Chains A and B, each alone.
Chain A
Amino acid sequence: MSRPAPPSAARIALARVRLELRLFARERQLVVFSFAYPVVMMVVFGSVLGGTTTPGGIPFPAYFLAGIAATGIMLTSFQALAASIAVERETGQLERLQLLGAPPVAYFAGKAGQVLVTTAAQLLVLLPVARYGYDVPMPPDLAHWVTFAWVAVLGALAGTVLGIAASALRGSAASVTTGVSAIAIVLQFFSGVFFAFPELPGWMQQAAALFPLKWLTQGMRSVFLPERAAAFEVAGGWEHGRTALVLLAWVLIGLALCSRTFRWRR
C-alpha cells in the first residue's frame, strides 16, 4: 500500500523552532541565566570600573558592552546548546528523533532558530541597560546597526554549530556542561571581554585570534565604540572583512564537525 511522503525537513524544522522556544521559556533557570548574566555583568563592571577608560580614552562601559554582548551570544548559542543537546541525548530524546526518521538538519535548524530568537531577546534587554544605566552611546547610524546585525547573526550561527559539535564530547551531560563552561571562561579572558584586548600579552592575542569570540567581540567594538578607537586595535583598524571571514569559516568548520560527529545516541 502506498503512503504519502513524510513531511519535509522544513516543516519539521518549523515545528522544532516552536518546540525549542516553548521549552526554553519553560526552563526558568535557563531563561534567568541567559538574560540576567549579561545584565548583571554589565552592572557589576559598569559600577566598579565605570570611571576608568581603555586605550584611546574610551569609557570602560562602552568597551565592556561590546565584550558582554559577544559573551552573551556565546552563552545563548555555544554553551546553552552543548549542554541541552547533551541532556537530550542522555535522556533518549534524540534516539526518538532518529527512530522517527527526523532529518538531522531539521533538528539543527530548530536549534538555530531558537538561538537566534533568544539571542535577539537577550540583546534587547542588555542594550537599554547600557544606554540608560551607563550612558553608552548606541550605534549612530544604519551602517553601524547593519554591522551589529551581521556580526551578531554570524556569531550566533558559529556558536550554534560549535555548540552542537561540542555536545558530542565524551562523558555525561554534566561533564559536557562543565567542559564547555571552562572553554567559555578561558576564551572570555583571552578574547578581551574583561580586559582591553590590545593590552593582553601577544601570545594570548594570537591564541584568541584563532577562535571566534575574539572576532565577535572586536566586531561589537566596531559598533559601540567611536571611530577613533579603531586606531588602538591591534591591527590598527576594525578588520570587518577578516571578522566576517573568520566567523564564516567557523560556521563552516562547525558544520563539518557536527555533520561528522553528531550522533543520536550515546
Chain B
Amino acid sequence: MTTTGLQPPPAATDRAALTVRGLRKQYAGRSVLDGVDLEVRAGECFALLGPNGAGKTTAIEVLEGVRSRDAGEVTVLGEDPATAGRAWRARIGVVSQGEAAGPALTVQETLDHFAAYHATPRSTADLLDAVGLADSSGTRVARLSGGQRRRLAVALGVQGRPELVFLDEPTTGMDPVARRQFWQLIRELRAAGTTVLLTTHYLDEAAELADRVGVIAAGRLVEVAPPDELGAALRRQATVRWLDDGAWREVRTEQPAAVLRDLLAEHPHGEVPGLAVTRPGLEDVYLQLVGAGAPEVDA
C-alpha cells in the first residue's frame, strides 16, 4: 500500500493515527492542558480549534514529541512521541513556522538541502509544482512573500512523504487570497491519503478543511464533532424575542413553536410587536463553546 496516490479522497479509516488519553501539562503551576482525550483516524483531517492561549500549540508539540507532558497516554502512529526515534520521526511531517535553512538560500537550494534528511524524499521539481513555487525556484527565501514562505514550509513538511502532517496555525497572518490557496494545498494533502492535524483559531478554516473539529478552551476539549454538527445542542436552542409593552422579552428554548403558540394565543387579534425567532450561527456556537457559554454544553 502506498501513502500517496491520485485516487479520489479516501474516507477516513477506522485505524487510529493518534490517540490521546488524559493529557495534562502545567507551566509554572498553571494548567495549560487539563485532561485532553482525542482520537484522530488515519486519513482524516482534524482541526483543533480554539482561541489563543487555549493550549493548541502545547498539545500539538506534545504530539510531535518536542514537548514533555505531565500525565496522560499519547500514541502517535503506534508509538509514544516522548520516546520514539528517528524512524518514527520520518513518518511524520511538520509544517513549521520557523525559518528554513537561511534566508540567503534560494527556494530550490533549500529543498535540495533538506532532501538529504529523508530516505526517499519527493523530488524538488515535484514539490515546487505541488505548492506552486515552480516560478520562484531561483528566488532567495529572503525575498519571498509571507504566503510563499508558508508554501515553502508546506513543501518542506511533506518532503519526506509523511503519513501524518501537523500544521500549527498555518494561515495566521495570511491575506484572504493566500489563505484560500493554502487551503487548497491542504485539501490536496488530504486527498492523497495523508492524515492531517491542524490547529487554528479561525472557525471558517476549521469548517472548510476538517472532517472533524475539536474545540479546545482553557486546556480542555469541550466538543468534538464534524463542522456542521458542532454545538448541535446549542444550535437546537432557538431564541424567541418580542416587544411587550415597549420592553424586550426573550425566551431561549428547544421548542420555539410551543412558545409561539402561547404567544399568539395571548394576542388573538393583533400583531406581536418585534417578533423574531433566531437560531445561533456557527460563530455564535463557537463563541459559546469557548467563552462564558462553555458550562452550558453539558447537554
Complex-state Cα separation, A150 to B281, whole angstroms: 73
Q: Is the CB of A6 within 8 A of B119?
A: yes
Question: A260 interface residue, CB < 8 Å from B?
Answer: no
Residues of B contacting A183 with CB < 8 Å? none
Interface residues of B in 48-77 (CB under 8 A from A): 64, 66
CB distance from B128 to the nearest CB of A (A): 19
Residues of A contacting B109 with CB < 8 Å? 22
Residues of B contacting A18 with CB < 8 Å? 113
Closest chain A residue to B157, Cβ basis: A99
Q: Is the CB of A99 within 8 A of B64?
A: yes
Question: A91 interface residue, CB < 8 Å from B?
Answer: yes
The B interface is mostly helix, strand or loop, or mixed, namely loop
Bitwise interface map of B from 6 to 49 toward A, beta carbon under 8 Å scored 1, else 0? 00000000000000000000000000000000000000000000
Residues of B contacting A265 with CB < 8 Å? 66
Question: B97 interface residue, CB < 8 Å from A?
Answer: yes
Question: A57 interface residue, CB < 8 Å from B?
Answer: no
Residues of A contacting B137 with CB < 8 Å? none
Q: Is the CB of A99 within 8 A of B91?
A: no
Q: Is the CB of A6 within 8 A of B99?
A: no
Complex-state Cα separation, A12 to B73, whole angstroms: 33
Complex-state Cα separation, A1 to B87, whole angstroms: 12
Complex-state Cα separation, A4 to B118, whole angstroms: 9
Interface residues of A in 93-115 (CB under 8 A from B): 93-96, 98-103
CB distance from B184 to the nearest CB of A (A): 24
Complex-state Cα separation, A262 to B120, whole angstroms: 29
Q: Is the CB of A93 within 8 A of B105?
A: no
Known contacts A92-B97, A92-B99, A93-B98; is A102 also within 8 Å of B117 by CB?
yes
Complex-state Cα separation, A15 to B66, whole angstroms: 24
Q: Most chain-A CB neighbours within 10 Å: which of B89, B101, B118?
A: B101
Question: A27 interface residue, CB < 8 Å from B?
Answer: yes
Complex-state Cα separation, A6 to B117, whole angstroms: 7
Residues of A contacting B156 with CB < 8 Å? 96
Known contacts A19-B113, A23-B105, A99-B66; is A4 also within 8 Å of B119 by CB?
yes
Known contacts A15-B116, A23-B105; is A3 also within 8 Å of B87 by CB?
yes
Residues of B contacting A6 with CB < 8 Å? 86-87, 89-90, 117-119
Q: Is the CB of B98 within 8 A of A23?
A: no
Q: Is the CB of B3 within 8 A of A1?
A: yes
Q: Choose one: B85, B89, B99, B104; the contact of A100 (CB below 8 Å).
A: B89
Residues of B contacting A23 with CB < 8 Å? 101-102, 104-105
CB distance from B266 to the nearest CB of A (A): 64
Question: B221 interface residue, CB < 8 Å from A?
Answer: no
- Counting chain B residues whose Cβ lies within 8 A of the other chain, the interface size class is 20 to 34
Known contacts A92-B96, A98-B66, A99-B96; is A1 also within 8 Å of B1 by CB?
yes
Residues of A contacting B85 with CB < 8 Å? 101
Question: A241 interface residue, CB < 8 Å from B?
Answer: no
Q: Choose one: B3, B90, B98, B104; the contact of A96 (CB below 8 Å).
A: B98
Complex-state Cα separation, A237 to B214, whole angstroms: 73
CB distance from B119 to the nearest CB of A (A): 4
Q: Is the CB of B99 within 8 A of A93?
A: yes
Known contacts A22-B105, A99-B64, A101-B89; is A7 also within 8 Å of B118 by CB?
yes
Complex-state Cα separation, A1 to B161, whole angstroms: 13
Question: A228 interface residue, CB < 8 Å from B?
Answer: no
Known contacts A91-B98, A93-B99, A93-B102; is A3 also within 8 Å of B90 by CB?
yes
CB distance from B197 to the nearest CB of A (A): 14
Q: Is the CB of B120 within 8 A of A100?
A: no
Q: Choose one: B99, B100, B117, B119; the contact of A3 (CB below 8 Å).
A: B119
Residues of A contacting B116 with CB < 8 Å? 7, 11-12, 14-15
CB distance from A123 to the nearest CB of B (A): 25
Question: A235 interface residue, CB < 8 Å from B?
Answer: no
Question: A26 interface residue, CB < 8 Å from B?
Answer: yes
Q: Is the CB of A12 within 8 A of B105?
A: no
Closest chain A residue to B163, Cβ basis: A1
Question: A32 interface residue, CB < 8 Å from B?
Answer: no
19 contacts between A and B (CB under 8 A): A3-B91, A6-B86, A6-B87, A6-B89, A7-B117, A7-B119, A11-B116, A14-B116, A15-B116, A19-B105, A23-B101, A26-B105, A93-B102, A95-B66, A95-B96, A96-B99, A99-B64, A99-B66, A100-B89
Ranked nearest first, the 9 interchain pairs of A and B with the lowest CB-CB distance are: A92-B98, A101-B89, A15-B116, A26-B104, A4-B119, A91-B99, A101-B86, A99-B94, A23-B102
Beyond contacts A3-B120, A6-B87, A95-B98: 14 other A-B pairs, Cβ-Cβ < 8 A, are A3-B91, A6-B86, A6-B118, A7-B116, A12-B116, A23-B104, A91-B98, A93-B102, A96-B96, A100-B117, A101-B85, A101-B86, A101-B117, A264-B66
